[in-house]
């Protein structure tokens, strides 16, 4: 019972009221409001039930339903860091889709993507229905999930994944787009500023860059590693360029935009200009990419869509369905940081 504005008691609409208004059974209302109607209730009927529920102001008793189902309707999203805007986008997409299905998402960091992540609850297995782990080492979530909590891995090796499903971006195609763009401009001497974090996602980038350049006569790749900070990337770039001898690389391929920003700082300190002395590319298309000058050529990753796809996969696993694990396409965004190599390199 609730009180109206005039103080009179009003009755909350029930599933029986919705069933009567929609001309269906209470069982059908339960299936539709629980998002379990597909294949069991006709789409037109499901829409009629939802419309009746909206008109009546009906809200299902989630607490009672969860108790019956043994569900908390809570998922945990584990990410390497809370300060990276890519993971903020992943969370936004995951939480948006989860809310449409009556789920909440708790965001939790595991430093540097290595484990084990500490359990944020007295018992994650009692407090959660499932886990999404983004860009994580496999052992980072072992302590959280035990042997039975459903897990969907994001941006991880499908072959070695401990999860029920793995959802990835098409990183191989992203590196292919970058490399082909630089090769078409005439670049042959590459410096790969690689992440020092041991991770499948960065291994994929290194392998594809090496494979793609190996097909072109005269193309070479030198790799240097850096922690994922601007200052470390600046220092690593300065060391690499000072030890390059008389012939600088003509293209610096960076594992992410933060590393590329470090390259910009190193170039400025060494009185080198981008792209006149060398071209630079990034990966992610963070806000940094359009804040630097010249703006950075980089690969745009659909972070929010990625989060949505991951949550959809977890919901499918929870319902016993096969999730969609097709890699999401990525897009090369060409800006002012890439150009043909210096004329002396032509």
Q: Does residue 156 lie in a domain region? A: yes
Contact 226/251 with Cβ under 8 angstroms?
A: no
In a domain, 263, yes or no: yes
For residue 341, being part of any structural domain is answered with: no
Range of the domain at 24: 2-60
**Same domain? 160 vs 308:** yes
Q: Is the pLDDT of residue 272 over 80?
A: yes
Taking each continuous run of H as one helix and of E as one strand, the counts in the chain are: 13, 13
pLDDT range class, residue 6, cuts 50, 70, 90: very low
Q: Are strands 189-195 and 251-254 parallel, antiparallel or unpaired?
A: parallel
Give 246's contacts (C-beta < 8 A, 6+ positions apart): none
Domain count across the chain: 3
Q: Is residue 346 part of a domain?
A: no
Kindly indicate the confidence band of residue 111, based on its pLDDT and cuts at 50, 70 and 90.
Answer: low
Least confident of 9-18, 64-73, 99-108, 132-141: 64-73
Domain C-terminal end among 60, 86, 101: 60
Please say whether the beta carbons of 241 and 268 come within 8 A: no
CATH number, domain with residue 45? 1.10.260.40
Same domain, 164 and 312: yes
Q: Buried b / exposed e across 6-45, counting CB within 10 Å, b at 16+?
A: eeeeeeebebebbbebbebeeebbbbbbeeebeeebeeeb
pTM (two decimals): 0.75
Q: Do 163 and 308 belong to one domain?
A: yes
Do 112 and 226 fall into the same domain? no
Helix/strand/coil percentages in the chain, nearest 5:
45, 15, 40
CA pair distance 182, 44, nearest whole angstrom? 52
Residue 148 belongs to domain with CATH number: 3.40.50.2300
217 with 253, same domain: the answer is: yes
Confidence at residue 148, expressed as pLDDT on a 0 to 100 scale: 66
Return the pLDDT at 264. 97
Of 154, 175, 172, 179, the closest CA to residue 164 belongs to: 154
Same domain, 259 and 161: no
What pLDDT score does 244 carry?
84
Q: Is the dihedral of CA 39, 45, 47, 51 positive or negative?
A: negative
155/177 same-domain check: no
Can you tell me the distance from the alpha carbon of 8 to that of 153, in angstroms, rounded to the nearest whole number?
Answer: 52
Together in a domain, 219 and 272: yes
- The pLDDT tens digits of the residues spanning 167-176 come to 999 999 999 9
Q: Which of 96-100, 252-256, 304-308 has the lowest mean pLDDT?
A: 96-100
Q: Which residues pair with 74 in a beta bridge?
A: 104
Kindly give, in sequence order, each residue whose CB lies less than 8 Å from that of residue 153, ignoring residues fewer than 6 positions away: 133, 136, 138, 161, 162, 163, 165, 166, 167
Of 40, 60, 80, the residue that ends a domain is 60
Looking at residue 73, its pLDDT comes to 82
Map residue 188 onto helix, strand or coil: coil
335, part of any domain = no
Distance CA 224, CA 319 (A): 45
Same domain, 274 and 250: yes
Q: Are residues 81 and 42 in the same domain?
A: no
Q: Is residue 241 part of a domain?
A: yes
Residue 191, strand partner residues: 222, 252
Nearest to 251 by CA among 212, 288, 284: 212
Q: Are residues 84 and 36 located together in one domain of the fold?
A: no
Residue 337 in any domain: the answer is no
Q: Are residues 156 and 113 in the same domain?
A: yes
Q: In terms of DSSP H, where are the helices of the chain?
A: 15-22, 26-33, 43-56, 62-69, 85-100, 124-127, 142-145, 171-185, 200-214, 230-242, 257-269, 288-291, 303-318
Mean pLDDT of 181-194: 97
Q: How far apart are CA 228 and CA 81, in angstroms?
A: 11
- Asked if residue 66 is part of any domain, the answer here is no
């Amino acid at each position: 019972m609730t009180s109206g504005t005039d103080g009179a008691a009003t009755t909350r609409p029930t599933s029986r009221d919705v069933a009567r208004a929609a001309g269906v059974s209470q069982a059908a209302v339960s299936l539709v409001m629980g998002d379990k109607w597909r294949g069991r209730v006709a789409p037109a009927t499901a829409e009629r039930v939802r419309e009746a529920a909206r008109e009546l102001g009906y809200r299902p008793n989630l607490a009672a339903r969860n108790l019956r189902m043994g569900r908390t309707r809570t998922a945990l999203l584990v990410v390497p860091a809370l300060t990276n805007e890519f993971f903020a986008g992943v969370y936004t997409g995951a939480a948006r889709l989860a809310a449409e299905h009556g789920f909440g998402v708790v965001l939790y960091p595991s430093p540097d993507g290595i484990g084990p992540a500490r359990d944020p609850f007295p018992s994650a297995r009692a407090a959660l229905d499932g886990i999404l782990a983004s860009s994580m080492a496999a052992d980072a979530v072992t302590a959280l999930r035990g042997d039975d909590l459903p897990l969907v891995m994001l941006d991880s090796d499908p072959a070695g994944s401990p999860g029920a499903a793995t959802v990835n971006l098409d990183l191989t195609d992203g590196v292919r787009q970058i490399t082909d763009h630089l090769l078409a401009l005439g670049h042959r001497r590459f410096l790969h500023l690689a992440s020092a974090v041991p991770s499948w996602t960065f291994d994929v980038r290194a392998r594809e860059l090496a494979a793609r350049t190996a097909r072109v006569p005269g193309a070479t790749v030198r790799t240097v590693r850096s922690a994922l900070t601007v200052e470390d990337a600046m220092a690593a770039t300065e060391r690499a360029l000072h030890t390059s001898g008389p012939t600088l690389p003509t293209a610096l391929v960076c594992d992410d935009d933060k590393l590329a920003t470090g390259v910009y700082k190193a170039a400025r300190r060494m009185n080198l200009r981008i792209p006149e002395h060398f071209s630079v590319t990034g990966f992610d298309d963070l806000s940094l990419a359009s804040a630097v000058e010249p703006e950075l050529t980089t690969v745009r990753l659909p972070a929010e869509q990625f989060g949505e796809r991951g949550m959809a996969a977890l919901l499918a696993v929870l319902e016993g369905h096969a999730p969609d694990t097709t890699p999401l396409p990525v897009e090369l965004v060409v800006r002012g940081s890439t150009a043909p190599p210096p004329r002396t390199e032509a």
